[in-house]
Chains A and B, each alone.
Chain A
Amino acid sequence: MRNLQFDVINEVSPGDKFSQLFNKNWPAYRAWYLDEGEEARPSYLECISALQAYMPELYPLYQDILKLLNCDDLQARFLSLYCPPTFYSACSQLIYKKEQTALIRNYDFPAFLCEGTILRSKWLDKHVIAMADCVWGVLDGINDDGLAISINYGGRLVEGKGFGITLVVRYILETCLSVEDAIAVLNRVPVHLDYNIALLDKHGNHATVMIAPDRDPLVTQESTSTNHQDPIETGKPLFLKDSGTRLEALNWINANNETSLAHSVTQFLHTPLYRPHDSNASGTLYTAVYKPATGHVSYIWPQHILNLTFDHFPEQTLDIKYA
């Protein structure tokens, strides 16, 4: 697939628009969820027990969504995102802190596996703008308390018992005020694969947290991350071979005091950070720029730019063609 439709959707509480999103995406998610057979996935009881134990604030919302969608057992288990099948992605992240602060990231993934939904909501007590995944999960996003977050796959090919990261990101955006709060969540909630999480809040605090199912989170002050974690273990392949190259490119941007935010963002539209679709299975699908201090959000493509805020959020559809 060489093009993707991005829908900008504004819905305060899960309702008709949310239902449509779910119904549109369910056939594909069902196939993915059953990839290794139904019995490979945890039971509904295990799913809700884990949700209640680790993300209790989300549980009533989860139940409301099940009611709204009239979910059966399988759909409910999928939506809990507890021990889902594996999913790997690429991505590059930069926490920019110069004349202003921003979280910039490229999301690299096969286009047919991306929902292309930008959703503004207020499900609990915070307004959230986020790029949706697994319908109610989040790939990257920001809340109106000024916390921005995005994820990179960590590249270690380990699997464990835990949640799909995108639900944990949703949980952080719904419940956390600051980087510190988010780190506490990442320390507490198990995830099923390894990820590098970029965090930036409106006070300019930042962290890159390396999480994995088999070891304690490593909280760093790094501003850059791609698809590997330290220490790099020999014999274990990185998921994407250009992970090191991209990290160098990010570090170069970060080290150069002259690089403006606009210039930094531009770098994300060029190789090696931009991964063209004709030469990569996981090509770059969008560049996201979150500015927690002002609540500005931009989604950027080589030929398009979409600027949004919590107050200015016009619903629209964008057709993006990838080279």
Chain B
Amino acid sequence: MSTPEKLRGLSDIYRFFRKNTTPIYFVSPTAYNILGLGQWIQGFKYITHFDSFDGGHFRVTNPEQNTEREFQSMEDMVNYLLSHKESVDLFQRNGGKGKILTVMFDEKTEEIAKQLGVDIALPPAELRTRLDSKIVTTQLANEAGVASAPNIVDVKASSYQELSALAAESKLGEKLVVQTPYGDSGKTTYFISNEADWDKVADKVVGETLKVMKYINHIPGTVEAVATRCGTMVGPLQTDITGYQELTPYKGGWCGNDIFPEILQGAQRDKIISMVKAMGDKLYETGYRGTFCFDYLVDTDDGEVYLGEINPRISGASPLTNLVTSKYGGIPLMLFHLLEFMDVDFEIDVDEIQKRWSDFGSWTQLVLKHTTDEVRSITKAPQSGIWRMLDDGNITFVRNSIDWNNVSDGQDAFYIRVYNAGDYAYLGADMGILVARGRMQTDDRQLLPRAHQWVRAINAEFEYKALDELEIPYIPTDNVRKMI
């Protein structure tokens, strides 16, 4: 028996993934989060609920749903997909072993993986759940010396008076940001400055364990990183695109990112990177390994930087991270996540690799949610591929494409379709995602004219039919609406 090779440096890693035949499956509503990884990994497959490519992507399987089914959560959908005959047959055809990647999963998924004889190439569900709590995250960050915006955690308040007293004690000021432990897209973050604000959200916060923060004027951003045995590797910083009414019905809700080299130069940037590293190393100590998303806040009044929250998973920040790290830096960040789970030893110079990702072109992604509060049946939807913005502000379909690599210039964008003709559109549904070169948001957080144009033009590609009263479609719960 030969000793398994130890990978040293990028050439070894390229060769390893090119030659390794272990099947790796990304199981999710759509393939979007880590689209394109198949270019690096021989055995890469996607198992998705939505058919974004009309059968035109050779790595994608869409297990056919034979009848109506109401998914209770993304985990529920992932478990359904994994247990489906078409997936089980696929696993078997590929030798019955392999690794699973997904965005959301639970203990049931772990049981299913065991039955299938495949490994989940992610930290255990129990650990992820624990880390997903904003309260646990804040406490761990404190231990790692990573500052959060002035806050108190693990507190409860049953009235506005109690909340203000707690805030006063810790000098958090009058304008408060209150969060419950779990949730995303700004849906469990509440801005409370007075009793009226409190009354509006009281039913959602009373009885919950809370994190209470001082409100700071800030720019929110995101960075994806990977905690490995060799240290934590930090991807390029991104800004968040949040809360625009034409993109999301949720106040403060996430609807995209910009990635551009000029973002936060100098001391601020260095500080954020060192915070992410410290956080990653701390997570690794707790048993967590692999990819995570670090949301940061830059205080626009004094320039201070803070931890916002951690998402211990593949996330909406993954697409731009992998795009930029591979296109300009030669290797997608996600490969290091996989290395941690690939039964192979490796020794890499984390800083050396990370340096490759300092110079890159600007890119952006917009998540287009359905913002109309009316359930309608979609009769026409734009197809996935490369679209071009014409001088008159209209768009035209240029060609099919299975990822964003061939977005040639600033006029082009890659659209991935989520909802298609025959589906229902309802408030908050992720209808599709747009990836383009350049930016969509200004430094002071205004959507650029081209963003308005793209959003309007893509939305104009949809056609709907009103429902008659007897048609009462299944409307997914909030847990399932967000597909990436």
Contacts and interface: CB of A to CB of B under 8 A. Distances in A.
Interface of A: 34, 37-39, 43-46, 48-49, 71-77
Interface in B53-92: 63-64, 66-70, 79-80, 82-86, 88
B115 interface: yes
Contacts of A45: 82-84, 88, 112, 115-116
A46 B79 CA distance: 11
A46 B84 CA distance: 10
Interface string B100-122: 00000000000010011000000
B83 A44 contact: yes
A49 B83 CA distance: 11
A43 B63 CA distance: 13
A43 B67 contact: no
B69 A43 contact: no
B70 A39 contact: yes
Contacts of A75: 66
B56 to A, nearest CB: 22
A74 B65 CA distance: 9
A73 B63 contact: yes
A46 B85 contact: no
B64 A38 contact: no
Contact of A44 (B67, B68, B69, B88): B88
Contacts of A73: 63-64, 66, 84-86
Interface in B110-157: 112, 115-116
Contact of B84 (A34, A39, A44, A71): A44
Nearest to B69: A38
A37 B80 CA distance: 14
B96 to A, nearest CB: 12
A45 B82 CA distance: 8
Contacts of A76: 85
Given A38-B66, A39-B69, 5 more contacts: A39-B70, A72-B64, A73-B64, A73-B84, A73-B85
Contact of A72 (B66, B79, B80): B66
Contacts of B116: 45
B66 A43 contact: no
Contact of B88 (A38, A39, A48): A48
A115 B339 CA distance: 55
B473 to A, nearest CB: 15
Given A45-B116, A46-B83, A74 B88 contact: no
A44 B84 CA distance: 6
Nearest to A45: B83
13 contacts: A37-B68, A37-B70, A43-B79, A45-B83, A45-B84, A45-B88, A48-B88, A72-B66, A72-B85, A73-B63, A73-B64, A73-B66, A76-B85
A43 B83 contact: yes
- Give the interface size bracket for B toward A: 10 to 19
A281 B115 CA distance: 43
A45 B66 CA distance: 16
Nearest to A75: B66
A37 B86 CA distance: 20
Contact of A43 (B68, B70, B80): B80
A45 B83 CA distance: 5
A76 B64 CA distance: 13
B67 A74 contact: yes
A44 B92 CA distance: 13
Contacts of B64: 72-73
A39 B67 CA distance: 10
A64 to B, nearest CB: 14
B255 to A, nearest CB: 31
A161 B64 CA distance: 26
A34 B85 contact: no
A45 B70 CA distance: 19
Contacts of A38: 66-69
Nearest to B79: A43
A49 B114 CA distance: 11
A145 to B, nearest CB: 33
A27 B88 CA distance: 25
A38 B80 CA distance: 11
A42 B70 CA distance: 15
A73 B62 CA distance: 12
A75 B64 CA distance: 12
B85 A71 contact: yes
A200 to B, nearest CB: 38
Contacts of B85: 44, 71-73, 76-77
B67 A34 contact: yes
Contacts of A46: 83
Interface in B218-269: none
A42 to B, nearest CB: 8
Most A CB within 10 A of own CB, among B63, B67, B86, B116:
B67
Nearest to A49: B115
A72 B89 CA distance: 11
A38 to B, nearest CB: 5
A71 B83 CA distance: 15
B386 to A, nearest CB: 33
Most A CB within 10 A of own CB, among B80, B82, B85, B86:
B85
B114 to A, nearest CB: 10
A43 B69 CA distance: 12
B294 to A, nearest CB: 35
Contacts of A34: 67
A34 B65 CA distance: 13
A75 B84 CA distance: 12
A19 B84 CA distance: 23
Nearest to B82: A45
Given A43-B83, A43-B84, A45-B88, A74 B66 contact: yes
Nearest to B115: A49
Nearest to A72: B66
A316 B70 CA distance: 45
Most B CB within 10 A of own CB, among A38, A48, A73:
A73
B75 to A, nearest CB: 14
Contacts of B63: 73
Contacts of A72: 64, 66, 85
Contacts of A71: 85
A76 B88 CA distance: 12
Contacts of B69: 37-39
Contacts of A74: 66-67
Nearest to A74: B66
A38 B63 CA distance: 15
A79 to B, nearest CB: 11
